[in-house]
């Protein structure tokens, strides 16, 4: 029997609310519920924040937590889309080279911004890293897609293998940049590769939020087609799905959302891998339920992880990627051990 | 319904199907037989639209098969394949519901739910509805897939004729369900569906087919109509193995290899 509870979505909703409120409240500065309401009230009436706590809430904590939720949702949904497209439960959002390309783009800025045109550096300001990361992500994915196109149609296996190859190139590019970097630059590269939400701004929230909203609505429209793909590519075609078109669209959606999210917060590992697994256990593999469930669970878990990042070694901050990997990896292994029956028959590759 | 005109398929200069022509009307049950590698599945794949012929053309309802869009075609014909590999756990009913996907937008209508229940009843797999597909036996899985394909055919009528293609549909089934599945397919024939099936059991073919197409080395050797008697010479030429025909008490022949 597949476990499916009608209470799942209400429970997820309540959890999300609880996690968000505690994430706002706890930190270097504690913020009370009254402060939150007062700050919101002042903001609605276009008044300045009443005290330092309200200012911290509005300018620092809230954008950070929103960015966290959006990024978590993006990574989780991206994991669902990629796993569905590749019919493989161990595929990650970065499979198509997007994240490795973004990391390389960011490392270029860290190491070479000193020798770049001063006007450009000044003009782009804090957006310089995100712009390069975004461009790097797009470029790497475009390379993967172009290379895998080959003769006539893109087979999923070639796509996967070329993705691995381009990832390796991106990684060695980042490695080379770290090698020629001076010490502080090398540290920046390392930190970026472990992810952080400490610099979150409202602008970042708006950009990722708008992209995420578009992508989520579109990916729900492809839920049915992704379900059919579970039967295999040929069967999906018999059932009326234009699989070539579907592949292209999913890849575009995935690249857009992953490169935007990664550009602002750096590399956050394991989220996109683990959440679809957990949610598949709870709601089954029907993408109509799996996509929204993963979206909410991604928001909850990444917000929790960021809370850990802020609180564990307070006042210092642990890079969030360390937490997601350290907690995520063992959970992943336990889940695989417990659920191997689910995937043992016919699961996995083409 | 389907008009196959001098169709050939070759890959790397190896000819898999050579100059085959075939015309099937709704209500007809055609069985394709032949040894391994005779080109049966390739021919079926071409008729499904998944494989464009390298020579000749196939018309479905008078329109060239290659001009159909994927989603249009899904409402005209359904295909049962030999093997299924499911990449993620889904329940049997969720699998059968996929047969209705071409017909609704986001959520299944009452009509779709009804058809799914009905087709699962016909294949006697309703008690498996909530079971995870990956825990089903080979035979159970085949019956569930047949239900899905029947759901995709949907309700048919004089104005709504469809094509059902079955590639070795009984390979995993026990004797009872081999007959049950073919009887269900035969029932479809009565409701304006043209059925084309690849089978390996000559006795099943004789019992259910209106016409048997014997293929060997990429070509059709013989098209045997219902009223024509099967001969041991023919079978020996096709399958390269000695056989005997036994007269059945109620008339007809039984083939023993």
Q: How far is B176 from chain A (nearest CA, A)?
A: 26
User: Would you state the pLDDT for residue A343?
Assistant: 53
Inter-residue contact B255 to B206 (CB < 8 Å): yes
Share of chain A above pLDDT 90, in %: 28
By CA distance, what is B108's nearest residue in A? Answer: A224
Nearest to A143 by CA among A118, A119, A169, A124: A169
Collapsing DSSP to helix, strand or coil, B2 comes out as strand
A342 has a pLDDT exceeding 70: no
Which among A241, A242, A285 is the nearest to B88, CB-wise?
A: A285
Across the interface, whether the CB atoms of B79 and A342 are under 8 A apart is answered no
Would B240 be classed as within a structural domain? no
Residue of A nearest to B80 (CA): A235
Q: Tell me, yes or no, whether A228 lies in a domain.
A: yes
Contacts of A288 in chain B (CB under 8 A): 106
Cα(B65)–Cα(B4) distance, integer angstroms: 10
Q: State residue B168's pLDDT score.
A: 93
Question: Is A241 in contact with B130 (Cβ distance < 8 A)?
Answer: no
- Chain B: nearest CA to A244, how far in angstroms? 11
Query: With an 8 Å Cβ cutoff, are B98 and A227 in contact?
Result: yes
pLDDT of residue B165: 96
3-state class (DSSP) for residue A11: helix
Contacts of B101 in chain A (CB under 8 A): 224, 227-228, 239-240
B150 touches chain A (CB under 8 A): no
Residue at token pair 């043209």: B194
The strand pair at B219-225 and B211-216 is best described as antiparallel
Average of pLDDT values for A270-283? Answer: 88
B7 within 8 A of B20, measured Cβ to Cβ: yes
Residue A80 domain boundaries: 61-344
**Tokens describing residue B163:** 């094509």
From A63, A61, A81, select the one nearest A73 (Cα to Cα).
Answer: A81
Q: pLDDT tens for residues A190-241? A: 888 888 888 888 988 999 999 999 999 999 999 999 999 999 888 999 999 9
Q: Do B86 and A344 touch (CB under 8 A)?
A: no
Mean per-residue pLDDT for B65-81?
A: 94
* Direct distance between the N- and C-terminal alpha carbons of chain B, in angstroms, rounded to an integer: 35
Instruction: Report whether A277 contacts A335 (CB < 8 A).
Output: yes
B224: left (phi over 0), alpha (psi -120 to 50) or beta: beta
Contact assignment for B86 to A346 by CB distance below 8 Å: yes
**Within-domain flag for A208:** yes
CATH of the domain at B184: 3.40.50.300
Quick one: average pLDDT of B121-146?
93
Tens digits of residue pLDDT in B166-190: 999 999 999 999 999 999 999 999 9
Q: How confident is the model at residue A5 (pLDDT cuts 50, 70, 90)?
A: low
ipTM: 0.89
Q: Looking at the DSSP assignment, which residues form a beta bridge with residue B212?
A: B31, B224
pLDDT (tens digit per residue) in A22-52: 998 888 778 888 888 888 888 888 777 778 8
Residue B124 has pLDDT above 70, yes or no: yes
Instruction: Give the tokens for residue A162.
Output: 């070329």
Q: Does B115 fall in a domain?
A: yes
A223 Cα to chain B: minimum distance (Å): 9
For residue A18, give how far its alpha carbon lies from the nearest alpha carbon of chain B (Å). Answer: 31
Domain count, chain A: 1
Cα–Cα distance, B20 to B34 (Å, whole number): 14
Q: Report CA dihedral (B206, B210, B215, B218) to the nearest 10 degrees.
A: -160
Could you tell me which chain B residue has the CA closest to the CA of A342?
A: B89
Question: Is the pLDDT at A346 greater than 50, yes or no?
Answer: no
Tell me if residue A168 falls in helix, strand or coil.
helix
What ranges in chain B are assigned the alpha helix state H? 40-48, 70-74, 92-97, 110-122, 138-153, 175-190, 202-208, 232-239
Q: Contacts of residue A286 in chain B, CB cutoff 8 Å?
A: 90, 94
**Domain contains A115:** yes
Asked if residue A148 lies in contact with residue A159, where contact means CB atoms within 8 angstroms, the answer is: yes
Distance CA A230, CA A236 (A): 8
Q: Is residue A290's pLDDT more than 50?
A: yes
Query: Does A102 map to a domain?
Result: yes
Q: Is residue B251 part of a domain?
A: no
Residue A226 forms part of a structural domain: yes
Residue A83 within any structural domain of the chain: yes
Closest approach of A131 to chain B, Cα-based (Å): 37
Partners of A235 on chain B (C-beta within 8 Å) are 79, 81, 84
Take residue B248 and report the two structure tokens written for it: 């059945």
Return the residue of A nearest to B47 by Cα: A238
Q: Which residues contact A271 (CB under 8 A, 6 or more apart)?
A: A72, A75, A76, A79, A298, A301, A302, A324, A328
The answer to whether position B191 is within a domain reads yes
- Closest Cα of chain B to A334: distance in Å? 18
**Gap between the Cα atoms of B98 and B149, Å rounded:** 9
Name every chain A residue with its beta carbon within 8 A of the beta carbon of B131: 1
Q: What is the C-alpha end-to-end distance of chain A, expressed in Å?
A: 25
Q: Min CA distance, A322 vs chain B (Å)?
A: 29
Question: Is the residue at B160 inside a domain?
Answer: yes
- Residue A113: strand, helix, or coil: helix
As a whole number of angstroms, the distance between CA B225 and CA B205 comes to 11
Interchain proximity A2–B89, CB inside 8 Å: yes
Distance from CA of B175 to the nearest CA of A (A): 25
Total domains in the fold of chain B: 1
- pLDDT value at A345 more than 80: no
Average pLDDT of the segment spanning B115-131: 94
Helix axes A271-283, A287-311, angle to 10 degrees: 130
CATH for A333: 1.10.3470.10
Question: Which of B79, B85, B91 minimises the CB distance to A238?
Answer: B79
Distances from the Cα of A148 to the Cα of A138, A165, B162, angstroms:
15, 11, 37
- pLDDT level of residue A134 (50, 70, 90 thresholds): confident
Is B255 inside a domain boundary? no
Interchain CB contact of B89 with A (< 8 Å) = yes
Residues of A in contact with B90 (CB under 8 A): 2, 227, 230, 284-286
Q: pLDDT tens-digit profile of A135-176?
A: 898 899 888 888 877 655 667 778 888 888 998 998 899 889
A16-25, A120-129, A333-342, B36-45, range with the lowest pLDDT: A333-342
Contact B150, B99 (CB under 8 A): yes
Tokens of A113: 């911004």
Question: In the prediction, which pLDDT does B54 show?
Answer: 94
Using a CB–CB cutoff of 8 Å, tell me whether B59 touches chain A: no
Strand-pairing partners, residue B15, are B10
pLDDT of residue A340: 57
Give the list of residues 6+ apart from residue A291 with CB closer than 8 angstroms, or none.
A77, A80, A216, A219, A220, A223
Identify how many contiguous H helices and E strands chain B contains and give both numbers: 8, 12
Helix (H) or strand (E) holding A290: helix A287-311
Residue from B196, B247, B237, B187 nearest B217 by CA: B237
What average pLDDT does chain B have? 92
- In this complex, is the C-beta atom of B87 within 8 Å of any C-beta atom belonging to chain A? yes
pLDDT at A4: 56
User: What number of CA atoms fall less than 13 Å from residue B223's CA on the CB side?
Assistant: 11
How confident is the prediction for chain A on average, in pLDDT? Answer: 84
Does the residue A289 lie in any domain?
yes
Q: Which two tokens stand for residue B168?
A: 């070795």
Q: B126 lies in which domain range?
A: 2-226
Specify if B253 maps to a domain. Answer: no
State yes or no: pLDDT of B58 exceeds 60: yes
pLDDT tens for B205-240 read 999 999 999 999 999 999 999 888 888 899 999 999
User: What pLDDT digit, counting tens, does each position of A240-273 carry?
Assistant: 999 889 988 998 898 888 988 888 888 888 888 8
Nearest-Cα distance to chain A for B28, in Å, is 22
Select the residue of B89, B99, B106 nearest A342 (Cβ to Cβ).
Answer: B89
Nearest-angstrom CA–CA distance, B82 and B92: 18
CA dihedral A46, A49, A54, A60 (to 10 degrees): 80
Residue of A338 and B240 predicted with greater confidence: B240
pLDDT band of B39, cuts 50, 70, 90: very high
Q: Which residues of A lie inside 8 Å of B (Cβ-Cβ)?
A: 1-2, 83-84, 87-89, 224, 227-232, 234-235, 237-242, 280, 284-286, 288, 341-348, 350
Mean pLDDT lowest among A27-31, A139-143, B73-77, B148-152: A27-31
B14-24 and B2-11: which strand pairing?
antiparallel
Two tokens at B80? 């049962």
- Nearest residue of A to residue B165, measured between CA atoms: A238
Contact status, residue A216 vs residue A261, Cβ threshold 8 Å: no
> What is the rounded distance in angstroms from the CA atom of residue B126 to the CA atom of residue B188?
19
A40 within domain boundaries: no
Pick B48's closest partner by Cβ from A83, A238, A242: A238
Residue whose pair of structure tokens reads 């390979």 in the numeric block: B171
B123-148 average pLDDT score: 93
With CA atoms as reference, the chain B residue closest to A234 would be B50
Q: Is residue B164 included in any domain, yes or no?
A: yes
């Amino acid at each position: 029997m597949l476990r499916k509870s009608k209470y799942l979505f209400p429970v997820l909703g309540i959890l999300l609310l609880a996690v968000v409120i505690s994430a706002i409240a706890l930190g270097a500065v504690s913020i009370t519920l009254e402060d939150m309401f007062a700050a919101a009230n002042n903001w609605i009436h276009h008044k300045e924040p009443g005290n330092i706590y309200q200012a911290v809430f509005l300018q620092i904590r809230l954008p950070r937590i929103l960015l966290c939720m959006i990024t978590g949702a993006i990574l989780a949904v991206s994991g669902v889309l990629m796993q569905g497209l590749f019919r493989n439960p161990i595929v990650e959002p970065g499979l198509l080279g997007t994240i490795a390309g973004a990391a390389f783009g960011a490392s270029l800025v860290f190491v070479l911004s000193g020798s770049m045109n001063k006007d450009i550096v000044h003009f782009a300001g804090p957006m310089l890293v995100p712009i390069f990361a975004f461009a790097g992500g797009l470029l790497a994915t475009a390379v993967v897609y172009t290379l895998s196109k080959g003769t006539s149609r893109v087979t999923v296996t070639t796509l996967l293998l070329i993705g691995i190859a381009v990832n390796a190139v991106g990684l060695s590019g980042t490695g080379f940049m770290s090698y020629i970097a001076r010490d502080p630059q090398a540290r920046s590269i390392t930190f970026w590769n472990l992810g952080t939400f400490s610099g979150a701004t409202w602008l970042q929230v708006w950009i990722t939020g708008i992209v995420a909203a578009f992508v989520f609505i579109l990916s729900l429209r492809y839920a049915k087609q992704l379900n059919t793909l579970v039967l295999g590519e040929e069967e999906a075609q018999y059932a009326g799905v234009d699989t070539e078109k579907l592949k292209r669209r999913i890849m575009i959606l995935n690249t857009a959302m992953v490169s935007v999210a990664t550009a602002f917060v750096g590399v956050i590992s394991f989220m996109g891998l683990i959440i679809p697994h957990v949610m598949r256990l709870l709601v089954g593999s029907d993408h109509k339920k799996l996509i929204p469930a993963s979206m909410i669970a991604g928001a909850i878990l990444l917000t929790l992880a960021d809370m850990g990042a802020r609180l564990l070694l307070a006042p210092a901050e642990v890079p969030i990627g360390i937490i997601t990997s350290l907690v995520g990896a063992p959970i992943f292994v336990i889940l695989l051990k417990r659920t191997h029956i689910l995937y043992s028959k016919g699961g996995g590759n083409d | 319904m389907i008009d196959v005109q001098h169709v050939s398929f070759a890959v790397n200069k190896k000819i898999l199907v050579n100059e085959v022509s075939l015309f099937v009307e709704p209500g007809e049950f055609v069985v394709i037989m032949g040894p391994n590698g005779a080109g049966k599945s390739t021919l079926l794949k071409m008729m499904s639209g998944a494989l464009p012929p390298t020579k000749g053309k196939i018309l479905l309802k008078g329109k060239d098969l290659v001009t159909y869009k994927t989603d249009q075609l899904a409402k005209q014909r359904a295909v049962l394949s030999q093997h299924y590999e499911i990449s993620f756990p889904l329940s049997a009913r969720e699998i059968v519901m996929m047969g209705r996907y071409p017909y609704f937008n986001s959520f299944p209508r009452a009509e779709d739910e009804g058809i799914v229940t009905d087709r699962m009843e016909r294949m006697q797999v309703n008690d498996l509805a909530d079971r995870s597909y990956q825990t089903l036996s080979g035979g159970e899985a085949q019956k569930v897939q047949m239900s899905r394909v029947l759901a995709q055919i949907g309700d048919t009528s004089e104005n709504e004729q469809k094509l059902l293609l079955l590639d070795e549909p009984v390979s995993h089934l026990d004797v009872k369900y081999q007959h049950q599945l073919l009887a269900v397919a035969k029932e479809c024939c009565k409701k304006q569906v043209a059925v084309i099936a690849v089978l390996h059991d000559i006795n099943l073919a004789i019992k259910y087919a209106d016409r048997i197409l014997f293929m060997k080395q990429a070509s059709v050797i013989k098209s045997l109509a219902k009223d024509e008697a099967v001969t041991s010479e023919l079978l020996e030429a096709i399958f390269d193995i000695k056989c005997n025909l036994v007269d059945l008490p109620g008339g007809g022949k039984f083939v023993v290899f």
